[in-house]
Amino acid sequence: MTNPYAPPRAAVRDVADPGAKSVLADRGTRLGAAILDSIAFLAMVYGPLVVFGVMTAFASASPNAQGAGGLLTMGLAAALVGFAVWCTITVRFLLRNSQSIGKKILGIKVVRSNGTPVSFSRLFWLRNFLIWIVSLIPLFGIVDSLFIFGESRQCLHDKIADTIVVVA
Q: Digits of tens for pLDDT over the chain (168 positions)?
A: 788 888 888 777 655 565 567 899 999 999 999 999 999 999 999 999 899 888 888 877 776 656 667 888 888 999 999 999 999 999 999 999 999 999 999 999 999 999 999 999 999 999 999 999 999 999 998 999 999 999 999 999 999 999 999 999
Q: Are 168 and 108 in contact (CB under 8 A)?
A: yes
Q: Which residues on neighbouring strands pair with residue 166, listed in sequence order?
A: 24, 109
Q: Are 166 and 109 in contact (CB under 8 A)?
A: yes
> pTM above the 0.85 mark?
no
Task: Return left, alpha or beta for 163; rule: phi > 0 is left, psi -120 to 50 is alpha, else beta.
Answer: beta
Q: Where are the domains of the chain?
A: 27-167
Q: Give the three-class secondary structure for 26.
A: coil
